[in-house]
Chain A
Amino acid sequence: MPPDEPKRRFPPPWKAYHRTDSDSFVVVDGNGVPLAIVPYRDDMQGVPFAHNRLTSDEARRIAKGIARLPDFMMQRASFNPRGGGDRRWRRSRPYHVALQDSYIRAHWDYINAACRLNSIPFDPTGERIDRDGHWIVYEFAVQLDAILFWDRFEGRWLRIIVLVVFGLALIWRGPEYFKAIATYQNEKRRINGDLSRKRDKLRLGVEQKRARLVQNGKPARRVPRRIGQKP
């Protein structure tokens, strides 16, 4: 292959299947390109000079191991530590991964096949979580299996969802909220200042009016009396 030509990629999932016509297991990539052939001979186990041949069970396990290579080579974005916080993710309940129900329904065949082929036992706990959608919880005995399951099948930790949803909401609507708050503070200052000036002007007008009333010989200020009190 010329050096400037882009490298071919062999996308996951890799699958191993049994080819009965040639007594072998074949590993193919996501596009169906055969990547490895693991032959076996079950009929020569009793022959001493044929001990370097694989049995069908050995060949199946090796082919399956090859098919899992992309999982181990895949970069892990992150795996959030459990412990504390939400009761669903305590250390006492390890390796639980929640998948959205709609996602499971849409990808059930793929999930089932991939998990069976890669020997990942996934058992639903029966727990349902109705928060930001309908989620179903699966339990794993091994952490790596849980990681693979979570990474490959869009499993989510709910608290990440909460953080992302509210964080995005704050970023999306935040400027509008802060603008409303700032507008109120500015208007409050302006209106109070404006009305204070008008009130001072009114007081001046009242004093002038009272002075005019006194000049005209009228009473300037009424003395308040109690209700019912006779003058």
Chain B
Amino acid sequence: MMASALFAVAAFIAAVLWAYRSRRKLSLLRAYEEAMGTFFKDADTLLAAEETPAEVVDMIEFISDKAADPRAATEFLRVLLRRRREMAEGENGELSRAVASFVEGYPQLGRVFGRAMARGLLAMTFKGGLTGTFVRRLVLFDAKKHEDRTQDLATNFRQIEACVPHAQAA
């Protein structure tokens, strides 16, 4: 009798926890789908435009691949911390300059690009577990409002991530 009681209690608790986890993950998955949907739509617009340079195409491909990677949020956090140090030393990469000139030269496409990067980075955090939540809540909490800043973040992410050996190997 005692064993049955314990089994009933354990089964109930397991069902509650599993259902709670499923609901939580489902809400994250739907948010991920919504963000990636916007990203793919904007990416199609950018790829169809003649003015889009190779650097932007490269960024789109990069974010598209990273968004499905569960480790991407951790890498992003590490890159951000490293980038703060780099920027304090006054460094600026070639990619940042190319993207900045594209955004300034074509404001309409620049806005689409900013939105694509914001949604892409947000989507990446939905797959990142606890680190993803940390990045989303503390770093990208206003990503939708300030898409121009997010585009800088994405550019920096790409620029420094390219120097990480395992990412280059992949």
Contact = CB atoms under 8 A, between A and B. Distances in A.
Interface string B115-141: 000000000000000000000000000
A159 B60 contact: no
Interface residues of B, number: 50
A191 B86 CA distance: 38
Given A183-B22, A209-B52, A178 B94 contact: no
A222 B2 CA distance: 68
Given A191-B32, A228-B86, A180 B26 contact: yes
Interface of B is mostly: helix
B109 interface: no
Contacts of A213: 54, 57
B162 A224 contact: yes
Contact of B159 (A170, A205, A227, A231): A227
B54 A227 contact: no
Interface of B: 1-2, 4-5, 8-9, 11-12, 15-16, 18-19, 22-23, 25-26, 29-30, 32-33, 36-37, 40, 43-44, 47-48, 50, 52-55, 57-58, 60-61, 64, 68, 86, 89, 91, 93-95, 98, 159-160, 162-163, 168
A-B residue pairs, 7 tightest by C-beta: A224-B162, A85-B2, A177-B19, A184-B22, A163-B5, A205-B47, A184-B26
